[in-house]
């Protein structure tokens, strides 16, 4: 009922998943930065999320962790699991009792699996997209692979939900945790497309500006910004930023502003045209 991809790229680990099932992101993905990631599906054993990550944290490889989980589960033939460890080792399991079509592919840093699919072309297309995305942001790479699987046929029952989880050390909001991306579309006619829209918003609001995106605030620009925020009805830049939720994209001391945020501010000035 589900197809997923678990991947590691550099110092990031993540999972992307889609299904004709309500809120698939609630059941399938799990990841911890510096430890690994996994997807549990088919007759999903959600306890495997904690068990699998604990085994990886103790130093088990993906294959060893998978074998240990299977040994202790009497419904292993009904389960499906993809797992990637701290070093990018990957393993995938498809139980013999999973509904057709069911299967998976593993590669360096990636485990792809699905059940109740239109056929093997789904996971094959996902692997091609994953390989083609080398060097891209992991969230984008996983989403592209998920979209490729959907375009190849996906879940043969249709579409309902999708989710994307990516972790990396210090990548969370304000650098206070490791969750770079945690997005869910729980019930939607085009969940993967909607997930892409949410990822665009996530990158704007919840991802810190890169050095290349930071525009130094010169005295001239400071005067322009002050006039723009005043015209927008705010006493200063900090007040406008807090209202619009751009805290990750403007320096606390006002020394720089993100180029996209500056463009958005200018677009809303009186008399601005599209």
The H or E element spanning position 165 is strand 161-168
171 pLDDT higher than 90: no
Average confidence (pLDDT) over 87-93: 98
Check residue 269 and give its pLDDT. Answer: 66
Would you say residue 41 has pLDDT above 90?
yes
Confidence of residue 236 (pLDDT cuts 50, 70, 90): very high
**Residue 32: is its pLDDT beyond 60?**
yes
> Tens digit of pLDDT for each residue in 178-215?
999 999 999 999 999 999 999 999 999 998 899 999 99
Burial class (CB in 10 A: 0-12, 13-18, 19+), 173: middle
- pLDDT over 70 at 148, yes or no: yes
pLDDT of residue 268: 76
Which domains, from first to last, does the chain contain? 2-205 (3.60.20.10), 211-267 (no CATH)
Closest CA to 5 of 100, 120, 89, 126: 126
* 272 has a pLDDT exceeding 80: no
Q: Which of 133, 132, 128 shows the shortest CA–CA distance to 112?
A: 128
Q: Report the alpha-carbon distance of residue 88 to residue 241 in Å, rounded.
A: 39
Task: Please tell me the predicted confidence (pLDDT) of residue 271.
Answer: 56
- What is the percentage of the chain residues whose pLDDT exceeds 90? 92
- State residue 173's pLDDT score: 82
- Region 28-56: mean pLDDT is 97
CB contact burial 37-60 (16+ within 10 A = b; e otherwise): bbbbbbbbbeebbebbbebbeeeb
Would the pLDDT of 45 be above 70?
yes
Residue 273 has pLDDT above 70, yes or no: no
What confidence score (pLDDT) does residue 174 get? 78
270 falls in which pLDDT band (50, 70, 90)?
Answer: low
Residue range 58-70: mean pLDDT, rounded: 98
Q: What is the pLDDT of residue 6?
A: 98
Give the mean model confidence (pLDDT) for residues 95-113: 97
Does residue 110 register a pLDDT over 60?
Answer: yes
- How far apart, in whole angstroms, are the C-alpha atoms of residue 45 and residue 34? 23
Q: Is residue 9 scored above 90 in pLDDT?
A: yes
The rounded mean pLDDT for the chain is 95
């Amino acid at each position: 009922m589900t197809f997923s991809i678990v991947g590691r790229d550099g110092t990031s680990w993540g999972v992307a998943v889609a299904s004709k099932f309500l809120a698939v992101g609630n059941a399938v993905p799990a990841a911890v930065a510096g430890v690994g990631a996994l997807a549990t599906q088919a007759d999903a054993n959600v306890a495997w999320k904690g068990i699998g990550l604990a085994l990886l944290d103790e130093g088990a490889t993906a294959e060893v962790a998978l074998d240990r989980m299977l040994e202790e589960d009497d419904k292993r033939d009904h389960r499906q699991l993809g797992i990637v460890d701290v070093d990018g080792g990957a393993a995938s399991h498809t139980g013999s009792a999973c509904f057709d079509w069911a299967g998976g592919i593993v590669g360096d840093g990636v485990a792809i699996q699905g059940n109740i699919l239109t056929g093997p072309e789904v996971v094959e297309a996902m692997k091609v997209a994953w390989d083609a995305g080398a060097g891209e942001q992991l969230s984008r790479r996983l989403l592209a692979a998920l979209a490729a699987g959907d375009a190849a046929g996906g879940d043969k029952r249709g579409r309902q939900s999708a989710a994307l989880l990516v972790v990396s050390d210090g990548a969370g909001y304000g650098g206070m945790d490791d969750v770079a991306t945690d997005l869910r579309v729980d019930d939607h006619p085009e969940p993967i497309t909607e997930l892409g829209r949410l990822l665009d918003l996530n990158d704007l609001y919840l991802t810190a500006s890169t050095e290349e995106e930071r525009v130094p605030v010169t005295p001239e620009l400071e005067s322009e910004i002050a006039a723009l925020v005043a015209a927008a009805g705010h006493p200063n830049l900090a007040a406008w930023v807090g209202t619009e939720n751009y805290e990750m994209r403007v320096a606390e001391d006002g020394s720089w502003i993100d180029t996209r945020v500056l463009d958005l501010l200018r677009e809303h000035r009186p008399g601005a045209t599209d």
